[in-house]
Amino acid sequence: MKNKIRLISSILFVLFFLMACSSEKKEKTIVHSKLNYSTNAFEPYISAKTIKLHHGVHYKNYVEKSNMLIDKFGFNGKSVAVILKKTKNKEKYFSLYNNLGQALNHEIYFNSLSPKPTTPSKQMIEMINKSFGSYENFKKEFIFAGSSHFASGWVWLVKNKDKLEIMTTSNADNPLTQGFVPIFTIDVWEHSYYLDYQNKKSDYMKDITKNLLNWDYADSVCFDLK
């Protein structure tokens, strides 16, 4: 009898142990990345008020909703890229796709900004020249693409094989679902600029492109330096 009790309690102990392990293993698929700078570091181009709201509220909500919906639909353990590809254009996953796309896009956006000036490396300049003719021309085309994007979305520098391209996506779409490598992005949803620029989206695009783009981050993604 005693042995039986011992055996049952051992089994129960192992079961509880396994349950505890599996619940601990449920790591969050995407986290709310810390801002590497103070909220006023991007002034005068982006105000602390905008950064606090954008990073601290909008981005955070997208991350929290994503993880909740990943749990609900049982996508735990899969990568963000895989989940986005599996849920794209599927009505059932509309909310998960959009929240996760937005969570990832914001992670890339905040990495794409640097308050201290950075410049493209020699290797990057070569790619820019090959793809756009010149750095000046790249900036012109990038500003135009972001300024003229209709409604909510994103303007991207992407890698397509050995060339760079500029593209825009609407709502929560990320170029990775179309086979491109996202190098950096600027958010052109109104919440990213309206407090500081009101309807002057092209001024926001010009200020960010000329003063805040993080070319060190671009290098690390483009040339796999991570």
Residues in the chain: 226
* Closer residue to Mn ion (CB): 87 or 192: 192
Nearest alpha carbon to residue 213 among 157, 168, 162: 157
Binding of Mn ion at residue 138 (CB under 5 A)?
no
Per-residue x/- track, 162-191, Mn ion (CB under 5 A): -------------------------x-x--
Position of tokens 């309690």?
9
**Residue 28: φ, ψ to 5°:** -70, 135
User: Encoding tokens for residue 160?
Assistant: 């397509």
Binding of Mn ion at residue 42 (CB under 5 A)?
no
With CB atoms as reference, the residue minimizing the distance to Mn ion is 187
* Closer residue to Mn ion (CB): 143 or 188: 188
What number of chain residues touch Mn ion (CB under 5 A)? Answer: 3
User: Encoding tokens for residue 162?
Assistant: 């050995």
Handedness of CA 159, 141, 147, 190 (dihedral sign): positive
| Residue 133 CA to its chain's centroid (Å) | 28
Binding of Mn ion at residue 204 (CB under 5 A)?
no
Binding of Mn ion at residue 197 (CB under 5 A)?
no
Binding of Mn ion at residue 110 (CB under 5 A)?
no
Q: How far apart are CA 77 and CA 89, in angstroms?
A: 21
* Closer residue to Mn ion (CB): 93 or 189: 189
DSSP summary character for residue 158: E
Binding of Mn ion at residue 196 (CB under 5 A)?
no
Q: From the CB of 125, what's the least distance to Mn ion, in Å?
A: 29
Q: From the CB of 58, what's the least distance to Mn ion, in Å?
A: 5
- Which residues form the interface with Mn ion (CB under 5 A)? 187, 189, 192
